[in-house]
């Protein structure tokens, strides 16, 4: 199989499994890879070829972007090798490539405790702001999902997430009864129509009021930290990882969910041992 055919196969797979933003991210980069290696056999591509190509494409770019491009080429080869049952190694697995294009090590984020989240919500100025915070902190929604909600997407305690990050047509999220009641009252009070956005504001506005609330409490916080809190709070209260992953966060991979969960302190580890086995 030549690279051109392999890329066409990979693109067809992506159209049915990933979001438009992901397709766009791969787009021109994979086109450039195809232009350079179109008639080359997949098995003939070497780590040196990959290294030279990535250097040509990413010189001067940030470390994170260089790592992203490396990961995209690696994902392409993984898919083609597995789908076509090719008896070859992924050329991107060469140690030198992994080191050259590794990502910046990020410090784990501090997970917000329940008391801090409750205080943030308490200090929010309006019912709109409070609902946005609660949909993230209590229901695990991404901020983009909250802001894209339309009235027609709200049905009792269920929320239909249109065009989710997973690439599926839609997903379903769930709300506690008291939040569902307030969301319904909010919609009715404002006499919103089925196609109206429930929260017609932009991400920048949300980020500003969230960071502003954080400053009042002397903490650094972004909207996504509230989604992280929802996962860790559920985990600390005994909710199975599968439920956190598939229902609350709606991840496709349990490993992704595990990255969301906060580090367990020695004190908390001992407390759970006592709960499980007694003192």
* Inter-helix orientation angle 20-37/47-58, to 10°: 120
- What letters, b where the CB count within 10 A reaches 16 and e where it falls short, cover 239-278? eeeeebbeebbbbeeeeebeebbbeeeeeeeeeeeeeeee
Instruction: Assign 78 a pLDDT band (cuts: 50, 70, 90).
Output: very high
Instruction: Assign 279 a pLDDT band (cuts: 50, 70, 90).
Output: low
Summarised one tens digit per residue, pLDDT across range 80-118 is: 999 999 999 999 998 899 889 987 665 556 778 899 999
Q: What CATH number is attached to the domain comprising 32? A: 1.10.150.130
- The answer on pLDDT for 156 being more than 60 is yes
Instruction: Assign 272 a pLDDT band (cuts: 50, 70, 90).
Output: low
- 105 or 194: which carries more pLDDT confidence? 194
Summarised one tens digit per residue, pLDDT across range 40-71 is: 999 999 999 999 999 999 999 988 899 999 99
- 3-state secondary structure at position 157: coil
Residues 145, 236 within the same domain:
yes
Share of the chain above pLDDT 70, in %: 95
Residue-level pLDDT at 263: 66
Average pLDDT, rounded, for the chain: 89
In a domain, residue 105? The reply is no
In a domain, residue 29? The reply is yes
Residues 96, 119 within the same domain:
no
* CA distance readout (Å), 64 to 24, 48, 95, 261: 17, 21, 18, 23
- The answer on pLDDT for 19 being more than 80 is no
Residues 155, 253 within the same domain:
yes
Residues 95, 182 within the same domain:
no
Residue-level pLDDT at 125: 84
Phi, psi of 39 (to 5 degrees): -95, 0
Q: What CATH number is attached to the domain comprising 149? A: 1.10.443.10
* Cα angle for residues 213, 232, 141 (degrees, 5° grid): 65
C-alpha to C-alpha distance for 39 and 55, rounded to whole angstroms: 21
pTM of the complete model: 0.64
**What's the token pair of residue 239?**
């909710």
**Do 166 and 120 touch, CB atoms closer than 8 A?**
no
41 closest CA partner among 13, 15, 80: 80
* CA distance readout (Å), 230 to 88, 131, 147, 158: 42, 14, 18, 17
Q: What is the CA radius of gyration of the chain?
A: 23
In a domain, residue 47? The reply is yes
Instruction: Assign 23 a pLDDT band (cuts: 50, 70, 90).
Output: confident
Summarised one tens digit per residue, pLDDT across range 7-18 is: 999 999 888 887
């Amino acid at each position: 199989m030549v690279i051109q055919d392999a890329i066409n196969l990979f693109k067809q797979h992506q159209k049915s499994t990933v979001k438009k933003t992901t397709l766009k991210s791969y787009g021109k980069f994979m086109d450039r890879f195809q232009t350079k290696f179109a008639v080359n056999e997949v098995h003939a591509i070497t780590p040196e070829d990959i290294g030279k190509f990535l250097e040509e494409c990413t010189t001067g770019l940030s470390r994170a972007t260089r790592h992203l491009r490396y990961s995209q080429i690696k994902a392409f080869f993984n898919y083609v090798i597995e789908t076509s049952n090719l008896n070859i190694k992924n050329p991107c697995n060469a140690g030198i490539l992994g080191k050259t294009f590794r990502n910046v090590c990020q410090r784990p984020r501090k997970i917000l405790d329940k008391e801090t989240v409750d205080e943030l919500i308490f200090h929010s100025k309006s019912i709109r702001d409070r609902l946005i915070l609660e949909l993230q902190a209590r229901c695990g929604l991404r901020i983009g999902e909250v802001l894209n909600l339309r009235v027609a997407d709200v049905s009792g305690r269920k929320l239909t997430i249109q065009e989710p990050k997973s690439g599926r047509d839609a997903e379903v999220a769930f709300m506690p009864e008291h939040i569902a009641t307030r969301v319904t009252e909010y919609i009715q009070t404002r006499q919103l129509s089925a196609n109206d956005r429930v929260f017609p504001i932009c991400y920048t506005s949300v980020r500003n009021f969230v960071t502003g609330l954080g400053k009042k409490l002397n903490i650094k916080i972004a909207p996504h930290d509230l989604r992280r809190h929802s996962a860790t709070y559920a985990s600390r209260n005994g909710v199975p990882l599968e439920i956190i992953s598939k229902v609350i966060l709606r991840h496709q991979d349990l490993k992704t969910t595990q990255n969301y969960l906060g580090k367990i302190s020695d004190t908390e580890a001992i407390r759970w041992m006592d709960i499980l086995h007694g003192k």
